[in-house]
Amino acid sequence: MYKLVIAFMLILLLTACASTKKADNFSADDLVGVWQLKFDGVYPYWFSHIAFTQDGRKCVLSYEFDANGKVDITYYANRYAIKDGHLVTTVGYSSTPYVRAGEVIKDRIDEITPNYFQVFMVAPYIGSSAEKHQKLSDLKPEDICNIVNSFGIANH
């Protein structure tokens, strides 16, 4: 019986190791789609829709709600790549002075599954918490990118 329990535990351990994706094995294809960056619990309330396209574009629409019901919408058009277990984003344009064109943002990838991914910012600033994203299957990346591009054209 003891050997059977040990064998079972060994099989569970090997299965868990085999099903865990190593950070250096992530690829840009893992992110293609639209994701919602979830509110982190620090008010004001906010969330973002982030689209990753097959050709390396990252389009972001962010919404922030203040206590008076005012909504502030910011948007970003970027390029992205995955390098050495990190999501590397180069800002193309942005509607806020806090994220500037040409800035490079580097996020350590902690986890990617078909419906969820989590990153932690390591540059240009150290993040204060993990950023948790949920897949939105009813939107296409081009839907978000078209909105971001329209905002960018109208405001530049």
Residue with token string 């800035």: 103
In a domain, 45, yes or no: yes
Q: Tally DSSP H helices, then E strands, for the chain.
A: 2, 8
Contact 131, 37 (CB under 8 A): yes
For the chain, how many structural domains are there in total?
1
CATH number at residue 142: 2.40.128.280
Contact 74, 98 (CB under 8 A): no
In a domain, 112, yes or no: yes
Kindly report the pTM of this predicted structure. 0.81
Residue with token string 């599954």: 113
In a domain, 47, yes or no: yes
Residues 144 and 156: their CA atoms lie apart, in Å, by: 18
In a domain, 144, yes or no: yes
β-pair partners for 105: 89
In a domain, 4, yes or no: no
Residue range of the domain that includes 100: 25-154
Q: How confident is the prediction along the chain (156 residues), in pLDDT tens digits per residue?
A: 544 334 333 343 334 444 444 456 899 999 999 999 999 888 999 999 999 999 999 999 999 999 898 999 999 999 999 999 999 999 999 999 888 999 999 999 999 999 999 999 999 999 999 999 999 999 999 999 999 999 876 565
In a domain, 9, yes or no: no
Q: Read off the DSSP letter of residue 76.
A: E
